[in-house]
Amino acid sequence: MRLAVLASGSGSILEAILNAGIPVSLVLVDRDCAATDIAADHGAEARLLDRASFGADFDRAGYTDLVTAALTEAEIDLVAMAGFGTILAPSIYEPFGGRILNTHPALLPSFKGWHAVRDALAYGVKVTGCTLHVATAEVDDGPILAQEAVVVEPDDTEASLHERIKAVERRIYVETLRSILARGSVAETTEEPVT
Ligand code: GRF
């Protein structure tokens, strides 16, 4: 399966995937970010599809068409969103439905959204974590592939807690991608259940 990783930030999850020796056919970023340098350091092809706007005038449908075209052109079978900061329009789930993964720094369905770590801390939870799931048109939703808890320490800041969560995200993303690539499909079974 040809894998693409979509990133926007520091790219530490991308780096963990590359360090694990998982072949990445395309790294796609939506802005200037460290993930591009990480791809270059590992000899992975990186493509910048620059977002023209972060405002209300952002053409989400048009941008999604560009992403879909880039993935199709690179003959991508599996897409791993790893800190990708653009919500893609539902149209991408027509060609790639069931084949786009996402990681979220909270135990879904709790604390959806961009500030999941901050929101969990503000709520005062004692345990949070991360979730690797199949992405759907509904943001931070979709079948859960892996999930792990992280204990909140009394002196945690958003940054310290997020860093411990990301350490788990890096590990479970690598483990899950390895399993998917080994069996050649996201679904754990392709057989009809025996009745
Ligand atoms: C992860 O916590 C991910 O769940 C969130 O952004 C972070 C990405 O980290 N959406 P990095 O850019 O891979 O270091």
pLDDT in tens, the chain (195 residues): 999 999 999 999 999 999 999 999 999 999 999 999 999 999 999 999 999 899 999 999 999 999 999 999 999 999 999 999 999 999 999 999 999 999 999 999 999 999 999 999 999 999 999 999 999 999 999 999 999 999 999 999 999 999 999 999 999 999 999 999 999 999 876 566 666
**166 Cα–ligand 1 center, Å:** 7
Known catalytic membership, residue 115: no
C-alpha to C-alpha distance for 100 and 195, rounded to whole angstroms? 30
Counting ligand 1 atoms within 8 A of each CB, the residue from 166, 173, 176, 177 with the most, and so the one to mutate, is: 166
Q: What is the pLDDT of residue 110?
A: 98
Q: Which atom of ligand 1 is nearest to the CA of 130?
A: 4
Residues of the chain with CATH 3.40.50.170: 1-97, 102-184
- Name the CATH superfamily housing domain 102-184: Formyl transferase, N-terminal domain (3.40.50.170)
Dihedral-angle region of residue 83 (phi above 0 means left; psi in -120 to 50 means alpha; beta otherwise): left
Residue 187: the pLDDT is 87
Ligand 1 binding pocket (C-beta < 6 A) is 7, 9-14, 82-83, 103-105, 166, 169
Question: So what's the pLDDT on residue 191?
Answer: 61
Burial label, 74 (beta-carbon count in 10 A; 0-12, 13-18, 19+) = middle
Predicted pLDDT at 177: 98
CATH number for the segment(s) 1-97: 3.40.50.170
Look-up of token digits 């892996």? 146
- Protein residue with least CA distance to atom 8, ligand 1: 83
